[in-house]
């Protein structure tokens, strides 16, 4: 087993732990210690101390951890800038991820097959977390992702790839957004749609206003600028969102 943890520093510190030969390799040059004689959590703490790092830049997990003390690495609540979860890890470790990793994570990206979650509640345990960015990628056949899942989300930026939402469900989501009944933190949403000619269904009953491309200059807190055009909708608190259609996707921008 190999664990790779990237610490936020300039230059980046890259640590690899290899269980097979009980060695730690520090890549900034290349230095290797063998027969280290202490637990993973102990050498991780030591490396934070000597490298003057205050966060993990990237933590990538692709298999269930073989180390009993693995999650104790994060017990000191050092921040994780980017958390990447692959399909082999998710199903067996949802509770540990939710309880230990997500509270200290800024951005999460996870890849899984349509059968990765035993129950929809497991997926929603992740969706409900208040992170800055969440990207969901489904491998293989598109997995059904319904309106209830979308309404559960609390990410500022939400990217859905390989999931299926119907145009009607997306329309219902925008209606609830206008009433300020879902995810007030949302600033950017992108989702694929596998239907054709879906614009009329998505916009039905939204009282949207068409905005020509380049006619307005607006900015979001996430750094998006509005010269893209689309269809504006207004929330009851006055906040403006723009729906932008592509060939088989819908983007949604919320302006500050």
Q: Which phi and psi angles does 60 have, rounded to 5°? A: -115, 125
Q: Check whether 33 has a pLDDT greater than 60.
A: no
> What average pLDDT does this structure show over 1-23?
48
Task: Say whether both 108 and 20 belong to one domain.
Answer: yes
**DSSP string of the chain?**
-EEEEEE--SSPEEEEEETTTTEEEEETTTEEEES--S-HHHHHHHHHHHHT--EEEEEEE-S--S-TTGGGGGTT--EEEEEEE-HHHHTT-HHHIIIIIGGGEEEEEEEEETTS-SSHHHHHHHHTS--SEEEEEEESSPEE--HHHHHH---SEEEEESEE--HHHHHHHHHHHHTT-S-TT--EEEEE--SSS-HHHHHTTS--EEE-TTS---B-TTS-B--S-EEEEE-TTS-EEEEEE-SSEEEEEE--
Q: Flag whether 156 is in a domain.
A: no
Task: Say whether both 134 and 166 belong to one domain.
Answer: no
In the structure encoding, which two tokens stand for residue 199, read together? 């614009």
pLDDT of residue 240: 92
Task: Say whether both 52 and 94 belong to one domain.
Answer: yes
Q: Flag whether 154 is in a domain.
A: no
pLDDT of residue 8: 43
pTM for the model: 0.81
Q: Mean of the per-residue pLDDT values for the chain?
A: 77
> What average pLDDT does this structure show over 155-176?
92
In the structure encoding, which two tokens stand for residue 251, read together? 């983007």
Question: For the chain, first and last CA: distance in Å?
Answer: 46
Q: Tell me whether strands 240-245 and 230-234 are parallel, antiparallel or unpaired.
A: antiparallel
Q: Flag whether 102 is in a domain.
A: yes
Q: Flag whether 211 is in a domain.
A: yes
Domain span at 98: 1-141
Confidence of residue 169 (pLDDT cuts 50, 70, 90): very high
Q: Flag whether 190 is in a domain.
A: yes
d(CA 181, CA 174): 10
User: With the C-alpha atoms ordered 201, 202, 207, 211, is the resulting torsion angle positive or negative?
Assistant: negative
> What average pLDDT does this structure show over 11-35?
50
Cα 23 off chain centre by? 31
Count of other CB atoms within 10 angstroms of residue 215: 10
Task: Say whether both 130 and 186 belong to one domain.
Answer: no
Confidence of residue 215 (pLDDT cuts 50, 70, 90): low
Nearest to residue 44, comparing CAs of 86, 66, 65, 13? 13
In the structure encoding, which two tokens stand for residue 201, read together? 């269904």
How many domains in the chain?
A: 2
Confidence of residue 3 (pLDDT cuts 50, 70, 90): very low
- Look at residues 79, 110, 141 and tell me which one is the last residue of a structural domain: 141
């Amino acid at each position: 087993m190999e664990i790779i943890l990237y610490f936020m520093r300039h230059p980046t510190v890259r640590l690899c732990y290899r269980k097979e030969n009980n060695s730690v390799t520090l890549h900034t040059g290349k230095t290797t210690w063998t027969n280290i004689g202490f637990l993973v959590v102990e050498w991780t703490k030591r490396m934070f101390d000597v490298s003057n790092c205050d966060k993990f830049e990237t933590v990538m997990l692709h298999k269930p951890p073989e180390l009993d003390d693995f999650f104790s690495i994060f017990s000191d609540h050092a921040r994780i800038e980017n958390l990447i979860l692959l399909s082999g890890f998710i199903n067996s470790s949802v509770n540990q991820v939710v309880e230990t990793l997500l509270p200290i994570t800024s951005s999460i990206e996870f890849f899984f097959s349509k059968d990765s979650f035993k129950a929809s509640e497991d997926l929603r345990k992740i969706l409900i977390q208040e992170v800055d960015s969440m990207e969901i990628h489904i491998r293989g056949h598109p997995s059904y992702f319904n309106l209830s899942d979308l309404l559960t989300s609390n990410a500022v930026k939400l990217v859905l790839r390989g999931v299926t939402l119907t145009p009607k469900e997306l329309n219902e989501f925008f209606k609830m957004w206008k009433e300020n009944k879902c995810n007030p933190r949302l600033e950017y949403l992108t989702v694929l749609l596998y239907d054709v000619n879906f614009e009329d269904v998505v916009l039905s009953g939204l009282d949207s206003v068409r905005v020509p491309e380049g006619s307005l200059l607006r900015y979001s807190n996430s750094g998006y600028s509005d010269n893209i055009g689309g269809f504006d909708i207004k929330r009851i608190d006055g906040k403006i969102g723009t729906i932008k259609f592509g060939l088989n996707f819908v983007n949604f921008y919320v302006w500050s």
